[in-house]
Amino acid sequence: MTADDDDAAVLEAAESDDEPEAAALVVGHDNDDDDGAADSGGEEPDDKRQKAARRPRSALAKTAITFLLIALALGGVAGYLGYVRYQEHVAQQQRDRFLAVGEQVAVDLTSVRFDSAEADLQRILDHATDNLYNDLSKRTGTFPEVARANQGIASGKVISAGVESIDDTRAQVLVAVNVVWTNQTLPQEKTDPWRMRVMLREVAPGDVKASRVEFVQ
């Protein structure tokens, strides 16, 4: 082997030793690029903090909306129940009004004195309308005369009363009355139980009058 051959062999050996290092450098460069790509594709710390902060606010908003819907629902129920109670109150007031007038008419019809017959009849007329008013109006002249002639005195007391039927402007009331009476031919007091059905009508708001009276057995 000549000196030139020896030099060539040394150069080849040196080149072969350098190639792995170059390859290693290339591989290391590729790995660095991959890491950089992975980092660039991930979330930044600030983004994570913002999302974490948004989550509690979102939960609070949902809770607030839920409570608002519940409050609205409860308010609607309370409003409806209040309306129902108001209607029941109005209906009870109307019922009580009809019942009170029915009782008063029964007492007026059975409480008459010969010495105040005109005023007693007028009191009955004040609570009468329709057929009852027309019938009693025809007796304004004769009724006081008959009462004075008989020296009649009658006093009625309600024993029981109840509403048989009722609607917006009309009612039918059944009244039981004990009537204590005397007259010229019967000076000793006598008590008779009477029952009467009083038909009532609201002629104006809050103004109830009797339109007809039936005596029942």
**∠ Cα 159 164 168 (to 5°):** 125
Residue 112 is predicted with a pLDDT of 93
Do residues 186 and 203 touch, judged by C-beta distance below 8 A? Answer: no
Angle at which helices 117-126 and 45-109 pack, to 10 degrees?
150
Tokens of residue 67, six digits = 């409570």
Mean pLDDT of the chain: 79
pLDDT, one tens digit per residue, over 186-195 is: 888 899 999 9
CA distances for 57 relative to 36, 60, 69, 209, angstroms: 34, 5, 18, 67
From the CB of residue 136, how many other CB atoms can be counted at a distance below 10 Å?
Answer: 17
Q: Is 110 helix (H, G, I), strand (E, B) or coil?
A: coil
Mean pLDDT by runs of 10 across the 217 residues of the chain is: 47 46 41 46 54 62 78 72 77 93 96 93 95 92 88 95 94 97 87 96 94 92
Residue 209 is predicted with a pLDDT of 97
This prediction has a pTM of: 0.63
CATH number of 87-215: 3.10.450.230
User: What is the Cα 57 distance to its own chain's centre?
Assistant: 37
Residue 45 is predicted with a pLDDT of 55
From the CB of residue 109, how many other CB atoms can be counted at a distance below 10 Å?
Answer: 26
**∠ Cα 21 25 31 (to 5°):** 140
Q: Where are the domains of the chain?
A: 87-215
Residue 69 is predicted with a pLDDT of 77
